[in-house]
């Protein structure tokens, strides 16, 4: 049974899962929607990842572009899938993914099949992690908040 409070957090994780599965769907070129729609999906995904890469969630322009990763927890999920402890660490991986999404959009024939599959697997892993958190939202105080508080800066 979901509690009402949990449902707010769950909706955010669902946003990440839907995003990731839809990008994977576009990379594989399924026939669930029109081809033109997949181009838009890829365009949107590139915009979202560029916003994540720019790394300033308190900037209004960036925040609007972040969409499924607008929340701190959702960005942490992405970083953990990329096996990165910080955004600085993840930037080169995100740039590479953006490059592959751009190639899929503009010159799909030039894209190496293994590269495509590797990125699909990253998005599937991201969707799976988000689904896990949807069903078991992390409880308690986020690690970042705990660490900041423990550094003891009470004035």
108 binds other proteins (CB under 8 A): no
CB of 97 to other proteins, least distance (A): 15
Residue reference for tokens 């839809």: 22
Give the C-alpha separation, 69 to 50, whole Å: 11
155 binds other proteins (CB under 8 A): yes
Do residues 122 and 96 touch, judged by C-beta distance below 8 A? no
Give the C-alpha separation, 115 to 6, whole Å: 37
Written as six digits, the tokens of 85 are 């402890």
36 binds other proteins (CB under 8 A): no
CB of 99 to other proteins, least distance (A): 19
CB of 43 to other proteins, least distance (A): 14
127 binds other proteins (CB under 8 A): yes
CB of 150 to other proteins, least distance (A): 7
150 binds other proteins (CB under 8 A): yes
Instruction: Out of 43, 53, 87, 103, point to the residue binding other proteins (CB under 8 A).
Output: 87
Written as six digits, the tokens of 65 are 């572009």
Give the orientation angle of helix 35-54 with respect to helix 4-28, to 10 degrees: 120
């Amino acid at each position: 049974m979901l509690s009402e409070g949990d449902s707010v957090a769950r909706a955010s994780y669902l946003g990440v899962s839907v995003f990731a599965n839809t990008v994977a769907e576009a990379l594989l070129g399924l026939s669930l929607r029109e081809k033109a729609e997949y181009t838009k999906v890829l365009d949107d995904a590139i915009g979202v990842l560029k916003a994540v890469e720019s790394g300033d969630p308190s900037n209004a322009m960036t925040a609007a572009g972040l969409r499924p990763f607008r929340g701190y927890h959702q960005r942490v999920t992405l970083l953990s899938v990329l096996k990165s402890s910080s955004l600085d660490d993840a930037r080169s991986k995100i740039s590479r993914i953006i490059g592959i999404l751009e190639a899929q959009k503009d010159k799909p024939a030039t894209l190496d099949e293994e590269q495509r599959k590797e990125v699909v697997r990253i998005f599937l892993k991201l969707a799976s992690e988000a689904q896990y958190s949807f069903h078991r939202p992390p409880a308690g105080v986020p690690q970042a908040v705990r660490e900041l508080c423990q550094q003891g800066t009470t004035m």
